[in-house]
Structure 1
Amino acid sequence: MDQPVYTWKRIPSNKNTPSPRASFAWASYKKKIYLYGGKDENNERESFYVFNLEDLEWEQKLPVQEKEPETRTCVLSVLHDDSMFFYGGYKSQNSSVLSGLFEYNFQSNQWNSHGYFDDYAESYHYSTGLYRDNILYFGGSTGYYQTNKFVSYDLHQQKWILIQPSPKTPEQRYLHSGEVWNDSYFVFGGLSFIENNDFHRYDFGSGKWEEITQKNPETLWPKPRRSHRTFIHNNKMYLFGGYGHSIWHGDCIWIFDFRNYQWRKVDILGDIKPKKRRVFLFEKYHDSIILFGGFTEKHKFTKSGYVLKLKGDLEKDLSHFLKNQVLCDTTISCLRNQSIGAHKTILNARLKTNENIIKLNQKASTLERRQVFHLLKFIYTGIGESSYKSMFTPNLDSISNDYLSLLQNNNKNTNSNISHLKSPFDFKIQLDNQLIQVHKIMMAARSELYYGMLTIVDDPSGIAPDLSGLSHSAFILLLQFIYSDKINQNDIDLNDLIQLKDCWKYFGFRSNRLKRICNKITKIIK
């Protein structure tokens, strides 16, 4: 059974699972995560482990001993080509702060040392990133004081550079996070004298810092924290965990969208809840997040690992329909007088304007059929080549947002058009003597019941009786789930929810998710 979206699944431990630890270095390389060092309840660990992302199994690695760094903790690494790099660190056995840049090469299984930088010297609990073959380090602690120095190491010239501060340079801090996106470096939170939730951006073009602030007090914003983790994926920064103001965080994932500079909060669903933690592994792989280790709210080091599924079944369902050319109602012309089936309803809903539809047809006429397939896959699911992302104006939103907003607009005005396009709704369901407009392809792709019905019913009027037995208002909730994998919790009638929960049998392997959502909302209403 597929794992429901935004739910955790525990990774089983085996004899090769690393001992409980936190504050280690790691890097993801060719379907594996390489983990080095860290600290447990006794001391620093020098062991090196590899986690296979395909079979979710650990194994111990034994690098060549020559030039191996001394054991350390409180480090972060970056990946460049076939190597991982980390700087400095901390050794609690003699309370010393370490210096030096070290490289581990995955191909040769060997260590290499790149010396240290006088202007940065000893440092730990910094943030790091990679920008155009330059390793970046910001902030950290020297053991005596915190710093806000920003330095880079040019991997080609093997040269250190101190990046000059600007008037809005963030204050000194450590245990913060830092990420590179496009031509900027973003720093969030950390510990100065107190935990922070300030957010800063360094522009490599202008060489200046700026602070990103809340637009108004009601704007969603993560609480102050340190020792959290972040990563970048699809123009978004994902933030999880950490500790701040005597509060442990871990009930939700915060997502910052670089396209509109807004935060949103995604609650974690399901019954499996990892202990809240700090200084842990947090890594993206395909449509999942890998979580491992850290120091938990129970004040224990842990070796527990989990997988969180990011993408819902919506993308998979539509991608399957694309691949199998099911219920296509139009064609797109390609090179060599070839064509490929497509769905007008999805194209209209996703592309939003006539100009974008014209762009699609013009682009497709210059591509091979297999290339058009991947272009359509990107339009349908948001998954695909980066070159397609800037092709349309306005840009494509998330697929859930596009379909849900389309549904909501249609509820307000059944005669509404999207940007003067012909209505993208191509089918009507007759319910309680009312007609509800829907997308035939969405209904068929998402529900075995409607797939069976719509492949049999061939009414030229485009109208079919409803077979769900739902009231009109409950059916609107069902459409929300079909279109977005979610249900709006506002203004829900308990009777509608009870009816909706009985629809689980229409959704095959998604049935558990529908039941779980209904149960959660029922508890809130009661």
Structure 2
Amino acid sequence: MARPSGKQKSTKLVIVCVVLLGFGLIGDYLWASSPHFASSSYISNWVSPNNPQSNVIIPKQEPHLADTKPLKIKVDGVHDRSLSATFADLPAPELKWEKMANAPVPRLDGAAIQIKDLLYVFAGYGTIDFVHSHVDIYNFTGNTWGGRFDMPKEMAHSHLGMVTDGRYIYVVTGQHGPQCRGPTARNFVLDTKTRKWQDLLPLPAPRYAPATQLWRGRLHVMGGSKENRHTPALEHWSIAVKDGKALEKEWRTEIQIPRGGPHRACVVVNDKLLIIGGQEGDFMAKPGSPIFKCSRRNEIVYDEVHMLDDEMKWKPLPPMLKPDSHIEFAWTIVNNSIVIAGGTTEKHPITKKMVLVGEVFQFNLDTLTWSVIGKLPYRVKTTLVGFWNGWLYFTSGQRDRGPDDPAPKKVMADMWRTKLKLNS
């Protein structure tokens, strides 16, 4: 067989080069037009010092997602927490956190009520397939856990509404069972002196995580999610109560709340009723699942604050510094301010994952202004908050995956505290 000539070799080499160049251009075009590229970069003009007329495309992340040098803050005076510029972290002053004794069990979507120096911690998920049905008590004076006792078998295990008059704890509706099982309309009252339970008139309809408070002699229950766990409820009911008993034979319909949904803080202060944050939508049971397996749905988290006063009309107050949900038991009142720890905010704009909140917020009721007063040791949702003798405590909830990943991971039993001084 005759060997190819030099000219034939050159021609083939040129063809190969052209083909390779063509593949390269096509690949570059496909990469540049891909959703990943479009969602994480800008087209920008850059003037090269070597070629002032050159225009090039430079991938550039959104400012809040850009890589920055991590900020180091003290957690317990010894260990550092690194904060990267992940979505929605806000600048905040340093707080010195002290690790206390863990709760007897980890809890997610539990509930807590403080009466004097005792924090009563109720129910909650241990895992997605296991729920607690008991109460643990933390003594702030001795900084110890103890006094465990059982809840009624018919009482909800998560997404509870709860409030106290200083002796009696009113427990309203919520989810009965693990995964995404249905809600109950059953309500109960706990006498904290005798630790005995009694029934309270059921709600007109069951709800998940309704805003619940005592105001002017009446137990108010507002919003939450409807029976499918996802649809926001706007209804507002109340009933007169005294010494752990209902004084009426039926719930009274009140003015609807401005925006429905679960997982908001509900506070009575200075004879005003406030609802703060929350969300529309939640996980639902997967259709046909025998275990009611949870399935993610779209959620809208909001920053709105509304107040009900003497005119019995909802009035807007200054919104939170960012949307915040899963805060129904994550608040306390300190020096005429509402202090809120952690929660969840809008989902990550690129990964679409849930984003936990790691800030401590203050709402000054004298000036009606919000501020960030510190960082938690990690981002956390559905944490349970108390305040005693100048110390801010929080326990339980679900924490982030680490300093650089605000998505939820581990259900916690941790208890932390920090000395908190606020201007009145």
**TM bin (shorter chain):** 0.5 to 0.7
Quote the offset at 1:25 in angstroms: 2.2
What SS does structure 1 have at the residue aligned with 2:233?
Answer: coil
- Asked if structure 2 preserves the Cα contact closer than 8 Å seen for 1:179 and 1:185, the reply is yes
Q: Is the 8 A contact 1:45 1:71 kept in 2?
A: no
Structure 1 residues 261-304: Cα deviation after superposition (integer angstroms, max 9, x where no partner): 11122123xxxx53311112012222111100001223221101
- Aligned partners of 2:208, 2:162: CA distance in 1, in Å? 12
CA 1:234–1:130 in structure 2 vs 1: closer, same or farther (change >3 Å)? Answer: farther
- Deviation, structure 1 residue 170: 1.3
Match of 1:148 among 228, 234, 240: 234
Q: Which sections of structure 1, spanning at least 5 residues, go unmatched?
A: 215-220, 313-397, 400-526
Would you say 1:289 and 2:403 are equivalent positions?
no
Structure 1 residue 223 corresponds to structure 2 residue 344: no
Q: Compared with structure 1, are the counterparts of its residues 310 and 249 closer, same or farther at alpha carbon in structure 2 (3 Å cutoff)?
A: farther
> Could you say which residue in structure 2 is the equivalent of 1:240?
341
Q: Residue 301 of structure 1 aligns to a residue in which SS?
A: strand
Deviations 1:303-353 (A, max 9, x none): 0110121128xxxxxxxxxxxxxxxxxxxxxxxxxxxxxxxxxxxxxxxxx
SS, match of residue 88 in structure 1? strand
| Counterpart residue identity of residue 174, structure 2 | G
1:306-385 equivalences under 5 Å are 306-311=416-421
CA contact (8 A) 2:156 2:183 kept: no
Q: 1:162 aligns with which of 239, 252, 260?
A: 252
In structure 2, give the amino acid aligned to 1:206.
E
What letter is aligned with 1:54?
Answer: T
1:68, 1:112 within 8 Å by CA — same for their partners in 2? Answer: no
Specify whether residues 81 and 12 from structure 1 end up closer, same or farther in structure 2 by C-alpha distance, changes over 3 A only. closer
User: What is the CA-CA distance between 1:91 and the residue it aligns to?
Assistant: 2.5
CA-CA distance at 1:138 after TM superposition: 1.6
Q: How many angstroms apart in 2 are the aligned matches of 1:141 and 1:108? A: 33
1:447-503: CA deviations, max 9, x gaps? xxxxxxxxxxxxxxxxxxxxxxxxxxxxxxxxxxxxxxxxxxxxxxxxxxxxxxxxx
Q: Which residue of 2 aligns with 1:187?
A: 275
Cα distance in structure 1, aligned partners of 2:197 and 2:135: 12
SS in 1 for 2:412: coil
* 1:163, distance to aligned residue in structure 2 (A): 4.4
- What is the distance in 1 between the residues matched to 2:145 and 2:114? 14
The match for 2:313 is 208
Shift of 1:255: 0.9
Equivalent runs, 1:78-97 vs 2, <5 Å: 78-93=163-178, 95-97=181-183
The answer to whether the 8 Å contact 2:357/2:381 transfers is no
- Within-5 A mapping of 1:33-52: 33-41=119-127, 42-52=129-139
**CA distance in 2: counterparts of 1:242 and 1:132, whole angstroms:** 29
- Once the two structures are TM-superposed, the CA of residue 235 in structure 1 deviates from its matched residue by 1.6
Report the secondary structure of 2:125's partner residue: coil
**Which residue does 2:370 correspond to in 1?**
263
Structure 1 residues 198 and 70: CA distance shift in structure 2, 3 A: closer
C-alpha distance in 1, partners of 2:144/2:236?
Answer: 37
Q: Measure the CA separation in 2 of the matches of 1:108 and 1:62.
A: 12
Residue of 199, 204, 214 corresponding to 2:305: 199
C-alpha displacement at 1:250, in angstroms?
Answer: 4.2
Quote the Cα distance in structure 2 between the aligned partners of 1:201 and 1:129.
13
Structure 1 residues 110 and 208, CA, compared in 2 at 3 Å: closer, same or farther? same
1:381-435 Cα offsets, whole Å, 9 max, x none, are xxxxxxxxxxxxxxxxx38xxxxxxxxxxxxxxxxxxxxxxxxxxxxxxxxxxxx
Counterpart of 1:305 (choices 408, 415, 424) is 415
CA distance in 2, matches of 1:290, 1:91: 28
Letter in 2 for 1:197: D
**Does the C-alpha gap of structure 1 residues 76 and 11 become closer, same or farther in structure 2, counting only changes over 3 Å?**
farther
Distance 1:256 1:81, change over 3 A: closer
How far did residue 60 of structure 1 move? 4.2
Equivalent-residue separation in structure 1 for 2:187 and 2:239 (angstroms): 9
- Kindly provide the CA deviation profile for residues 12-40 of structure 1, in whole angstroms up to 9, marking residues without a partner as x: 33xxx321111112222242111121111
TM-score, normalised relative to structure 1: 0.52
* Distance change in 2, residues 1:256/1:12 (3 Å): same
Give, in whole Å, the separation in 2 of the partners of 1:127 and 1:6. 30
Partner of 2:98: 9
Contact 1:289–1:310 (Cα < 8 Å) also in 2? yes
If the length of structure 2 is used for normalisation, what is the TM-score?
0.64
Q: Give distance in 2, aligned partners of 1:89 and 1:134.
A: 20
Instruction: Sort the Cα spacing of 1:30 and 1:263 in 2 relative to 1 into closer, same or farther, 3 A.
Output: closer
Alignment of structure 1 residues 398-437 onto 2, 5 Å: 398=423
SS at 1:294 equivalent: strand
**Residue from 165, 189, 210 that aligns with 1:126:** 210
Whether 2:263 is the aligned partner of 1:175: answer yes
Q: State the shift of 1:132 in Å.
A: 2.6
CA deviations on 1:426-445 (whole Å, 9 max, x unpaired) are xxxxxxxxxxxxxxxxxxxx
SS in 1 for 2:277: strand
Structure 2 residues without counterparts, runs of 5 or longer:
1-75, 78-93, 281-298, 349-354, 402-408
Question: Structure 2 vs 1, CA of residues 77 and 164 (structure 1 numbering), >3 Å: closer, same or farther?
Answer: closer
CA contact (8 A) 2:154 2:186 kept: no
Partner of 1:112: 198
Distance (whole Å) between structure 1 residues aligned to residue 138 and residue 239 of structure 2:
28
Letter in 2 for 1:112: Q
> Is residue 68–residue 111 contact of structure 1 (8 Å, CA) maintained in 2?
no
Bigger relative contact order, structure 1 or 2, given CA contacts below 8 A and separation 6+?
2
- In proportion to residue count, which structure has more helix? 1
Partner residue of 1:57? 144
1:282 & 1:81 partners in 2: Cα distance?
17
Answer yes or no: is the 8 Å Cα contact 2:341–2:383 preserved in 1.
no
Structure whose CA Rg is larger: 2
Distance 1:309 1:76 in 2: 29
Between the two proteins, the alignment pairs up a number of residues equal to: 292
Hey, what's the Cα distance between the residues in 2 that align with 1:284 and 1:90? 28
- Write the deviation string for residues 65-116 of structure 1: whole angstroms up to 9, x where unpaired: 7x55445111142112422111111134471111122111111111111121
CA distance in 2, matches of 1:149, 1:282: 27
Quick one: distance in 2 between partners of 1:251 and 1:68?
A: 35
